[in-house]
Structure 1
Amino acid sequence: MPGFGDLVQKAFYLGVGIASYAGEKASTTLAELRSQAQKLADEMVARGEITAEEAKRMVDEMVSRAQQPPTSTPPPTTEKSEPRRIEILSDDEPAPEAKPETKADGKPEAVDDLRQQVLKLQEELRRLRQD
């Protein structure tokens, strides 16, 4: 059974190996980026869109941006957020802060209006079916 020292040594070598691999991968990616940026700049120079000096500056700027660490993004909120509620109002509906007028029986007038509209629609549907 390997000792604790062997385990620590293997973990250290694993970390060094991973760091080395990541460095190689990053340098390969950076070289590919430089190559692609140089091709783009060469095409633009050939078309006369930019000068050779501007092309060199552009390639250097792209590579330096790629080498910079990414900008920090705000940490995700740990609170469970609910979907935002959306109210759809038409011109003939009262605003949400306005209280609906009520009749003597305690029902809002809007309920009676809706019932009347439903009855009219039902009558029209019956009439259309007969035609």
Structure 2
Amino acid sequence: MDNFGGIIQKAVYLGVGLASYAGEKANQKLTELRKETQKLADEMVKRGEMSTEEARKFVEDMMNKAMQQAPIDSSPETRPNEPRRIEILSEDDNSSDNNPTEVDKMRQEVNSLQEELRRLQKD
């Protein structure tokens, strides 16, 4: 029975340690976000695209949004069933960069990869 208490104690310590680690990582990310947002705002002020007051408000708004945003859940239930569709468009001009055979090859490769993905999802 004494061994069981030790296991529970270790589990509690593990939980506290993980929570502490997650908090530190979140704090680091928020600090990085604030720095990058501040750089962007400073650059926009330098260009004259916004005033210093607008820049301060912009940084505050971005930080508030970042802290309020729910964590991204990557569980299978929330992921879409199919990947995002990508359409390859070719321009109709006859420049040397647009080789129709190369575009056709790429389309065929994309189609074959899509079919393989569908096949793998069914398995």
Give the TM-score category using the shorter length.
Answer: 0.5 to 0.7
Structure 1 stretches (4+) deviating beyond 6 angstroms? none
Determine the structure 2 residue equivalent to 1:50: 50
Determine the structure 2 residue equivalent to 1:28: 28
Determine the structure 1 residue equivalent to 2:4: 4
Determine the structure 1 residue equivalent to 2:65: 65
d(CA) in 1 for partners of 2:28 and 2:66? 12
1:21/1:41 Cα in 2 relative to 1: closer, same or farther (>3 Å)? same
Give the structure with the higher percent helix: 2
Task: Among all aligned residue pairs of Structure 1 and Structure 2, give the percentage whose two residues are the same amino acid.
Answer: 56
How many Å apart are 1:72 and its aligned residue? 8.8
How many Å apart are 1:71 and its aligned residue? 7.9
Question: What's the TM-score, normalizing by structure 1?
Answer: 0.53
Q: Looking at CA atoms only, which structure, 1 or 2, has the larger radius of gyration?
A: 1
How many Å apart are 1:70 and its aligned residue? 1.9
d(CA) in 1 for partners of 2:71 and 2:12? 30
- Which is bigger in relative contact order (C-alpha 8 A, separation at least 6)? 2
Root mean square deviation, CA, Å = 2.6
d(CA) in 2 for partners of 1:63 and 1:3? 46
d(CA) in 2 for partners of 1:50 and 1:67? 24
Please list, as runs of the form range in 1=range in 2, the aligned pairs for 1:1-131 lying within 5 A after superposition. 3-70=3-70, 76=77
Aligned residues: 77
Deviations 1:71-90 (A, max 9, x none): 899x948xx9xxxxxxxxxx
1:28/1:72 Cα in 2 relative to 1: closer, same or farther (>3 Å)? closer
Gaps of 5+ in 1: 81-131
Question: What's the TM-score, normalizing by structure 2?
Answer: 0.56
What code does the residue aligned with 1:9 have? Q
d(CA) in 1 for partners of 2:18 and 2:71? 24
